[in-house]
Amino acid sequence: MAAKRSLVNARRRSSYGSFLEAQEQGKTLTDWKMLPETKYALCGVGFPIRLKNGALIGTACVSGLPHELDHQTLVEGISEF
């Protein structure tokens, strides 16, 4: 979970969004000049929590299902607030 959170904080977007972007562009964490993959996870779901003004105030993480289902579950849960 910490590695997902680190990726969200570094890229300011969901880890699943970063995963899809990397897959589409054929990139790796190294291509983004990140720390080693032991510190960042280009998978699963970590999602930025933002205020209405866009300020990042936290990260929510989910694990246990395939990437797309983890992401959907988290988005649906957060959307209720």
Cα–Cα distance between 49 and 12 in angstroms, integer? 10
Backbone angles phi, psi at 19, to 5 degrees: -60, -50
pLDDT of residue 78: 82
For residue 65, the enclosing domain spans: 2-79
What total number of domains does the chain contain? Answer: 1
pLDDT of residue 21: 92
Low-confidence spans in the chain with pLDDT less than 70: 34-35
CATH code where residue 15 lies: 3.30.450.150
DSSP summary character for residue 53:
T
Cα–Cα distance between 15 and 48 in angstroms, integer? 9
